[in-house]
Amino acid sequence: MTFGIYKCEKAAEFAAFLFCISISRVMERRRNFSTMKL
């Protein structure tokens, strides 16, 4: 039981990590696009 909870926590951490990475990538792409437009 505890192992399952631990696994779920690790999966949630990993998902949040990937989410943060994709968000930062989108933000950087958007920033590059706006500087290109200017």
Tell me: pLDDT of 5 over 70.
yes
DSSP string, the chain: -HHHHHHHHHHHHHHHHHHHHHHHHHHHHHHHHHHHH-
Its sign, for the CA torsion 27, 30, 36, 38, is negative
Q: What does the pLDDT read at residue 3?
A: 75
Per the structure block, which two tokens stand in for 13?
């951490």
Q: Is the pTM of this model over 0.85?
A: no
Per the structure block, which two tokens stand in for 24?
């930062």
